[in-house]
Amino acid sequence: MKLKMNERLDYVNDDIELIQNTDGLTFGTDALLLAGYINGKYKRGVELGGGTGIISMLLLARGKIEKIDCVEIQDEFAELIGRNAEHNRFEDRLFPICKDIREYQPEKECEIAFTNPPYMKATSGKSNLNDKKNLARHEVAGTIYDFCKAGGKALKYGGSFAVVYRPDRLIDLIDAMRKAGLEPKRMTYVHANAASEPSMVLIEAKKGGKCGLKLTRP
């Protein structure tokens, strides 16, 4: 397999060989945690903001989802998802869609939607001069409200929505979920160690679910 400029091939979890674009965000703990957080088995799912496609591939490798549509706004990364799928023999189960999630119209409803969305507001923090990383980190191509709205549109009634996010924006996340008809049902804080404040939060919501949240052990 021939790699393009600014690409590298990494061996990651579950016997996956991942082509990564070093100009964009690379495989990290948040992706691994979200893939592990999703429970159950689903026939059809959608990832909102696919990047390299690693979360989808981890879920496929673990038999949690049979087929996944992977929505990615950057054409370069949508193509990369397709190459990663083919390289790891998921091409008949993982389908990249180059689309802005704000314009995404699913052909049919699915059982699960999941996302590792940009954490930072467009006006907060240092804006990375590299557009690829800026799009991945900042809400310049959709806010958390847009991601939750897209998830709500994609899901069947009773379907699951899973997300990894930053604790300092937890209120925005829960508000966005509820406005999209997604009721938070399970939440887990992630700490580097027992003495540290949480660095990430994982939430699973249900479309049309009743009020009632389980806060798990960290």
Give 204's Cβ-side CA count (13 Å radius).
Answer: 19
Q: What is the DSSP secondary-structure string of the chain?
A: -PPPTTEEEEE-GGG-EEEEETTSPPP-HHHHHHHHH--S-EEEEEEES-TTSHHHHHHHHTTSEEEEEEEES-HHHHHHHHHHHHHTT-TTTEEEEE--TTT---SS-EEEEEE----B-TTSSPPPSSHHHHHHHBTTS--HHHHHHHHHHHEEEEEEEEEEE-GGGHHHHHHHHHHTTEEEEEEEEEESSTTSPEEEEEEEEEETPPS--EE---
Q: pLDDT tens digits for 108-130?
A: 999 999 999 987 665 555 555 45
- Asked if 160 contacts 176 with a C-beta cutoff of 8 angstroms, the reply is no
Q: pLDDT tens digits for 18-34?
A: 999 888 778 789 999 99
- Asked if 145 contacts 122 with a C-beta cutoff of 8 angstroms, the reply is no
Instruction: Answer yes or no: is pLDDT of 48 > 80.
Output: yes
**Token pair for 46:** 């959608």
Q: How confident is the model at residue 135 (pLDDT cuts 50, 70, 90)?
A: low
Letter string b/e over residues 194-208, b meaning 16 or more CB atoms within 10 A of that residue's CB: eeeeeebbbbbbbbe
Q: pLDDT tens digits for 159-179?
A: 999 999 999 999 999 999 999
Instruction: Answer yes or no: is pLDDT of 138 > 50.
Output: no
Alpha-carbon span 143 to 148, nearest angstrom? 9
Q: How confident is the model at residue 137 (pLDDT cuts 50, 70, 90)?
A: low
The per-residue pLDDT for 122 is: 59
